[in-house]
Amino acid sequence: MGSSISRLKSATRTSIAWAAHACSLHQFRLRGKVAILMYHRVLTREEVACQAVQPGMYVLDTVFAQQMAFVRETFTVLSFRQLLDLWQTGKWDKQARYCVVTFDDGWLDNYRHAYPVLKRLGLPATIFLPTDYVSTNQWFWPDRIAHLLRSARSAEQGIKHVQQIERVLLNLFGVAGESLGKALVNDERATDQLIDWCKELPKDQIEMLIAALAVELGVSVPVERVVVNWEEVREMSQGGISFGSHSCSHRIMTTISPSEVSQELEQSECVLQRAGIDYVPVFCYPNGNNDVAIQAQAKAHGYEAAVSVQMGVEGTHPRNRFALRRVGIHNDVTYSIPLFSLRLCGLLSRTK
């Protein structure tokens, strides 16, 4: 029943998308607005097949190329610096449709697959970097968890792994964790639930969980690099890509103390300013989590704006320059141009 409903929803969304695109709804709905696009990863089909990547975290390289060609034809594409300047000077064309392209996390595939497309089309973009990860082999903790659980879905070890995972999660989350453990081996969607639970935990508890899973399952996280290095950053900087801060450690700002927030804001900015790159003073909240106090801290540290993951577009005067709305783009809901344009219009959209 669930899969039938899902297919019906998908078919309905696709039909609406084609109808809206045929009448150029996006051209009217986005006039006088700026759509700040939020991407994470750009992957080939082969890469998706062999990685534990969440559906909301990627677009295919072929889909990205089509989207950027559409963006170039449909919008006045701005760098983030140009957007800030338009807001500052008030020279906003109310008949124009503006677009800014952004990427969170600084994935290596941004350099390998997205940058060549942007360079070929002459489009600017901004990548938000978690500076502690640049030029390292560190993996983000959600990807380490996803990798470990994907490895645990081995048919030969299935029952044994269920028991091992249940034991680890029971110690951390109690009975609810034990129940989730049963689902994790058979249902990839349960991985997303576990990751969401972990977002509320202190970093040391998350690391304890990962270490326990690795020991129980006898699996280790690969050491291959997944984030850009400084040489790649500098090359992209010379090719029209600017860079903003995504903190140092990628910790969720609402789970740490004000002094730690201040340290993340200051140190990441300092690293980027000294890197000899096209730095733009815009902060990107890890996971989007922020509050009024954190926004005030970002402003006090000299940032000119900050982006959130709240769905929406901005206009002549942003509602809150330190919680700018963006349009999250991922493959499962934007794999065709009609679906992409429908997403930009804000219709039938999910939060991320």
Q: Which architecture, in CATH terms, is 2-137+224-345?
A: Alpha-Beta Barrel (3.20)
The letter for the amino acid at 347 is L
Q: What does pTM read for this prediction?
A: 0.92
Nearest to 192 by CA among 44, 1, 47, 52: 52
87's tokens? 């807001």
Please check whether residue 176 is in contact with residue 197, taking contact to mean a CB–CB distance below 8 angstroms. Answer: no
Give the model's confidence band at 185: pLDDT under 50 very low, under 70 low, under 90 confident, else very high. Answer: low
Nearest to 98 by CA among 119, 121, 72, 66: 72
Tokens 């919008």 -> residue: 75
What would the pLDDT profile of 114-137 be if each residue is shown by its tens digit?
999 999 999 999 999 999 999 999
What would the pLDDT profile of 227-275 be if each residue is shown by its tens digit?
999 999 999 999 999 999 999 999 999 999 999 999 999 999 999 999 9
Every domain of the chain and the residues it spans: 2-137+224-345, 141-217
Please tell me the least confidently modeled range out of 35-44, 77-86, 167-176: 167-176
